[in-house]
């Protein structure tokens, strides 16, 4: 019996059950254990004020280290680049659509939203890029899981909201998407659209069980994105986006960093065969052009 630790949101449970089904198809016996995290409990403060995206992992990782669960299933974009000692990421599932999705009450696309539209998102990355492109919109905080955000939109708290496309699609609600935003308009978060499996370092039983779920092309792309993120010291406290995609035999990496108010920003794009070298090259390019000013350096 392998025990999967997961958050209790609809999306987290979809991801955990997806991994469960794939493992059971290979003859494994699986149990899912739902764990409430700090990020789930504290909804009245900005995410960076309660420990960043790691707030969605802390209690699950404590359960892993204590041997209460054997593996954890996460949205990779919520996983910091530095993990607790003794834990590691052992598998990355094939990436779903990495783009951001706009859901508006009127069904209008981003370019057609009228000035003064109240748009909900807590992501500094989304705020920065939106304000750079549409400074006439009113961008307001919106936390909560996918269902909560869509409900608040329907109730009229917002005129439009932004979500990761993969999440809304996995929940069978793609019909509610008003526009899938091209990465040239809004670069996604590093790792967006990827489900990751975390386990204890050295647990060969889990590593062998999840190895058939691992998708190497996805792993190469997100390696570039996460090395870039680490090189810039990024997290939820920095308006930063990155997307690596296959380019022949190599990768194309696009990156964004800017001020939260969108008043100043930088983009970079390079191609290369080695994910880590490519990531560092893009990071060095941005830093040489003044990205440190956006990073508090």
Catalytically active residues, by annotation: 78
By CB neighbour count within 10 A (0-12 exposed, 13-18 middle, 19+ buried), where does 104 fall?
buried
Asked if 286 and 232 touch (Cβ cutoff 8 Å), the reply is yes
- What is d(CA 281, CA 90) in angstroms, rounded to the nearest whole number? 26
- What is d(CA 20, CA 37) in angstroms, rounded to the nearest whole number? 21
Nearest 5 degrees, angle CA 50-CA 54-CA 58?
95
Return the closest-CA partner of residue 245 out of 168, 193, 171, 185: 193
- What is d(CA 175, CA 171) in angstroms, rounded to the nearest whole number? 11
- What is d(CA 161, CA 153) in angstroms, rounded to the nearest whole number? 7
- What is d(CA 63, CA 173) in angstroms, rounded to the nearest whole number? 32
CA 187 to chain centre: 12
- What is d(CA 192, CA 241) in angstroms, rounded to the nearest whole number? 10
């Amino acid at each position: 019996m392998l025990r999967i630790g997961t958050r209790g949101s609809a999306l987290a449970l979809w991801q955990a059950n997806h991994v469960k089904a794939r493992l059971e198809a290979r003859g494994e016996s699986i149990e899912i254990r739902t764990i409430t995290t700090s990020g789930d409990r504290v909804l009245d403060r900005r995410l960076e004020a309660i420990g960043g995206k790691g707030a969605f992992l802390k209690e699950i990782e404590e359960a892993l280290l204590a041997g209460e669960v054997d593996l954890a299933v996460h949205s990779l974009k919520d996983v910091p680049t530095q993990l607790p000692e003794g834990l590691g990421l052992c598998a990355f599932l094939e990436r779903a659509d990495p783009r951001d999705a706009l859901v508006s009450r009127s069904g209008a696309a981003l370019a057609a939203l009228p000035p003064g539209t109240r748009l909900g998102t807590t992501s500094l990355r989304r705020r920065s890029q939106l304000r750079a492109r549409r400074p006439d919109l009113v961008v307001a905080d919106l936390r909560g899981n996918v269902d909560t955000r869509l409900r608040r939109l329907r109730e009229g708290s917002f005129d439009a909201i932004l979500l990761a496309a993969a999440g809304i699609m996995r929940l069978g609600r793609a019909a509610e998407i008003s526009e899938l935003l091209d990465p040239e308009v809004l670069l996604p978060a590093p790792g967006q659209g990827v489900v990751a499996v975390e386990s204890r370092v050295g647990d060969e039983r889990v590593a062998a069980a999840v190895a058939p779920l691992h998708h190497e092309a996805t792993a190469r792309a997100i390696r570039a994105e996460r090395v870039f993120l680490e090189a810039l010291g990024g997290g939820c406290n920095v308006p930063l986006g990155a997307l690596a995609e296959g380019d022949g035999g190599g990768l194309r990496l696009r990156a964004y960093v800017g001020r939260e108010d969108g008043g100043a920003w930088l983009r970079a794009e390079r191609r290369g065969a080695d994910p880590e070298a490519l990531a560092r090259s893009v990071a060095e390019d941005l830093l040489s052009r003044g990205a440190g000013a956006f990073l508090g350096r």
